[in-house]
Amino acid sequence: MEYRIPLIGEKIPEMEVQTTHGKKNLPGDYKGKWLVLFSHPGDFTPVCTTEFYSFQDKIDKFNEMNTELLGLSIDQVFSHIKWTEWIKENLKKEITFPIIADDRGQVAERLGMIHPGKGNNTVRAVFIIDPEGIVRTILYYPQELGRNMDEIIRIVKGLQMVDKYHVAAPANWPNNELIGDEVIVPPASDEKTAAERRGKEGCYDWWLCHRKI
């Protein structure tokens, strides 16, 4: 059966997956929580090890945002277990989030995590999924480049902010070069509102206004 990769704004496909914490149902078991689902090329590899260490090091920040982490690679569950044991014993960091054992590659195929020219390994994909199971962000990194965890945290925090206040986040939010930590309000949708905004404090023009939250 041929699957189409879920896109931003679509629901993540329903799947039962085997993890290091037992079987889990996607997205049902994460309803009401944000989820960062990410793939790594393989266990016992250098860049992936640094990524898992970094994800775990920032687990409290994810927890504060009501966000769960879920890893994935095309390895068997015993390989995941031995690798996380190695990380705990040698790097003194216990991996507390589950990892999907996708040894047949079915989950990775369905989510577009296997790319041409990379063999059977998964690329470094990231799916940020909201509490309703909707895909809100998709990131792809090559195998050679490790991810920036602070950017993933920024994305989750930004999405939660725009959902709560019905605004938009500018570039580099919350440290934008023009408006600092302020946010962008939706553009005017009628002539009257557009006219009211011209020359108004906090507006560069009727279609570019900002405010504090």
Q: Give the integer Cα–Cα distance in Å for 110 and 37.
A: 13
Instruction: Say if 4 falls within a structural domain.
Output: no
Which residues have a Cβ under 8 Å from the Cβ of 79 and sit 6 or more positions away?
A: 43, 44, 101
Chain centre distance of CA 61: 14
Q: Is 67 exposed, middle or buried (0-12, 13-18, 19+ CB in 10 A)?
A: buried
Domain containing residue 205: 166-213
The three-state secondary structure class of 127 is: strand
Q: Is residue 161 part of a domain?
A: no
Cβ pair 55, 99 in contact under 8 A: no
- Residue 94 forms part of a structural domain: yes
Asked if residue 196 has pLDDT above 90, the reply is yes
- Whether the per-residue pLDDT at 188 is higher than 70: the answer is yes
User: Are 126 and 190 in the same domain?
Assistant: no
Are residues 71 and 175 both part of a single domain? no
H helical segments located in the chain: 46-57, 59-64, 77-91, 106-110, 149-165, 191-197
Alpha carbon distance 181, 6 (integer Å) = 32
Q: Report, as residue numbers or ranges, the catalytic residues.
A: 48
Do 121 and 78 sit in the same domain of this protein? yes
Residue 119 has pLDDT above 80, yes or no: no
- What span, in angstroms and rounded, lies between the C-alpha atoms of 195 and 206? 7
Beta carbons within 10 angstroms of residue 74's beta carbon: 26
**CATH number for the domain that contains residue 22:** 3.40.30.10
* Residues paired with residue 39 on neighbouring β-strands, in sequence order: 72
Shared domain check, 77 and 118: yes
pLDDT at 131 over 90: yes
Q: Are residues 174 and 90 in the same domain?
A: no
- Name every residue whose Cβ is closer than 8 Å to that of residue 22 and which is 6 or more positions away in sequence: none
Residue 199 — pLDDT band, cuts 50, 70, 90? confident
Q: Domain for residue 152, yes or no?
A: no
Average pLDDT score over residue span 16-44 = 97
Q: Is residue 26 part of a domain?
A: yes
Task: Out of 1-10, 14-23, 91-100, pick the least confident.
Answer: 1-10
In a domain? residue 191: yes
Of the pLDDT bands very low, low, confident and very high (cuts 50, 70, 90), residue 123 is confident
Q: Quick one: 103 and 190 in the same domain?
A: no
Q: Which amino acid is at 128?
A: I
Concatenated DSSP letters of 189-206: -SHHHHHHHTT-TTEEET
List the CATH number of the domain containing 211: 3.30.1020.10
Establish how many alpha carbons lie within 13 A of residue 29's alpha carbon, considering only the half-sphere containing its beta carbon.
16
* Mean pLDDT (the chain, rounded): 94
Look at residues 146, 175, 195 and tell me which one is the last residue of a structural domain.
146
The pLDDT score that the predictor gives to residue 11 is 97
Query: Looking at the predicted structure, is the pLDDT value of residue 118 above 70?
Result: no
* Whole-number percent of the chain with pLDDT over 90: 86
Least trusted range by pLDDT, from 44-48, 121-125, 175-179: 121-125
* 175 and 99, same domain (yes or no): no
Q: How many domains does the chain have?
A: 2
Tell me if 157 is assigned to some domain: no
Which residues share a beta bridge with 71?
38, 99
The whole-number pLDDT of residue 143 equals: 86
Task: Indicate whether 72 and 108 sit together in one domain.
Answer: yes
Taking residues 169-198, what's their average pLDDT? 96
Structure tokens at 192: 């009257």
156 found inside a domain: no
93 and 64 inside one domain: yes
